[in-house]
Amino acid sequence: MNIMTMPFTLKHLHSAYAAGLSPVTVIEEVYRRVEEADDPGIFIHLAPKEVMLAAAAALGPYDPARPLYGIPFAVKDNIDVAGMPTTCACPAFEYAATADAFVVAKLKAAGALPIGKTNLDQFATGLVGVRSPYPIPKNAIDPSIVPGGSSSGSAVAVARGIVPFALGTDTAGSGRVPAALNNIVGLKPTLGTLSATGMVPACRTLDTISIFTLTVPDAFAVYMATAGYDEADAYSRDLAAPFLEVPGAGFSIGVPDIASRRFFGDVVQQGSFEAVIAVLEGMGHRIVPLDFTPLYRIAELLYEGAWVAERYAAIEQVIRTMPDALFPVTRGIIGRAETLTASDAFRDIYRLADLKRKAAPLIAAADLLCVPTIPCFFSVTDLTQDPVRPNSKLGTYTNFVNLLDLCGIAVPVATRTDGRPGSVTLLGAAGLDGRIAGIAASLQVEASPPLGATGWELEPIDALPPAAGPAEIAIALVGAHMRGLPLNGEITRLGGRFLAQRQTAPEYRLHALAGGPPQRPGLVRVNEGGQAIALEVWALPLDQFGSFMTGVPSPLSIGTVRLDDGSAVKGFLCEPAGLRGAEDITPLGGWRAFLAAASR
């Protein structure tokens, strides 16, 4: 393939490297694309070309054991890269980084090549991408629209196809809003799974490094290469290694109900979101309308409450000793902290705890949430006329996320009817990054939007059979715990996820046990006279398996169930003594068929 037209995705580059392409050639092409973009606002610092050519040559022959071998990437300029300056878009703050940030070091160890530092809203304060003393990056889709912040340069670099991925950060939505505005993927992981060592904080308790790519699998591959516990970061969390789930259908997805949807008059954006809801339903998921008002109240705390003081704490020396070095809007926002007191901070902490309690039932009402990434669009001119209110509106669906310790991924969907990019964000509880990314990957394929501003088409994702992850156990469900049935909530509340509709091997009989409600099935393995019985296979977190077992009543038990392909999983079985008074319903082939027959 001609390197000048090669899509810069991990899949294409890995294939090309395996076929003999040199990383030196890729770096040459990166710098050609930078020049072709003709946008001085993307990078604050670009490494000298000869330095990167030498780094590429030093990688040696292709090594598939290094998952990011030869992959060039860009870094938001509030994250340290050894030998490069860190400015946070404030020239007076600039310092020379002598060590790599923890995440950058992991990327280098995986074979990736950092080519430079990207522009941002100063000190990562803003969602618009125009709060910088440097030239403003041009939105990759439409230069009249704001590029989105604070990770503006990183998003544009990916959308223009200059690099396959770039690092951003996310406190209020800075890893998601620029993704929506530039038609790319923005992964905001569970807080603490990406170390903040070597990152200049905005709000240290709420910050995370984020990842921009053209495709969901690429974003998650970078996430897997960078996630890990860091003893040097007090906010690092020792969670299970992330993996990309292959989703089945049947998840319940909470969306803002009609009364609480906010589009600020953008009827095209409203139509785009409604179309995505229809797509998700067509994929087999169940939509749950929810009143998002409690979440909006939490979102208001981020800039109207004491968390502004946390931003002040991050740059206190700068704002006290050289306030004129700050961009005017940035100084105005963070400077409000000087009117706050310690008692204000505690009052807002209490208020957040109260609002979290009120929001908990809403979040628990669905397996995950789906929201518009942004409610509407704003032009560069709009921000010139009003530098504050458009920024607040862009954070409508993002500001509450880190305050609630949710993970999120912004995914491009079908282009809007007016040609602007469509985007939604899937949100899940902490640790469910793999689940929401798996659904996002399927949604991106279903919608098949163009990749960024490149004109490259999304290629089909290599199909994988749904399977339990390394920290999960596969379990067969034959009765009321299946999707849409009365006890399904018992398994979803424990983090269970649907994998597949399957059948047992032809060596079982199924009975409707006496008693109830709800009436329960009894699956028994027999030496002869058995047949295949329909069931569902789910994955359950290993650390929740004990809790699930405590709710299994006699005469049911968990044993080993053989499936029709010869494999075996854990599942519900019945003690023979429990069949007294039971009805043999084997000829119906499964519990759902029995319920349907009983309702007629």
Catalytic residue ranges: 76, 150, 174
Beta carbons of 121 and 128 less than 8 angstroms apart: yes
* Residue 557 amino acid letter: S
In sequence order, the β-bridge partners of residue 25 are none
Cα torsion at 97, 100, 103, 106 (round to 10°)? 160
- What is the DSSP secondary-structure string of 343-409? HHHHHHHHHHHHHHHHHHHHHHTSSEEEEES-SS--BHHHHHH-SSHHHHHHTTTTTTTGGGTEEEE
First to last CA, the chain: 61
Burial class of 207 by CB neighbour count within 10 A (0 to 12, 13 to 18, 19+): buried
CA distance 71 to 162: 11
Nearest to 335 by CA among 348, 345, 323: 323
Q: Using the 8-state DSSP alphabet, how is residue 211 labeled?
A: E
- CA 592-594-595 angle, to 5 degrees, is 65
The token pair that represents 516 in the structure block:
């109830």
Report d(CA 367, CA 436) in Å as an integer.
10
Residue 188 forms beta bridges with which residues?
408
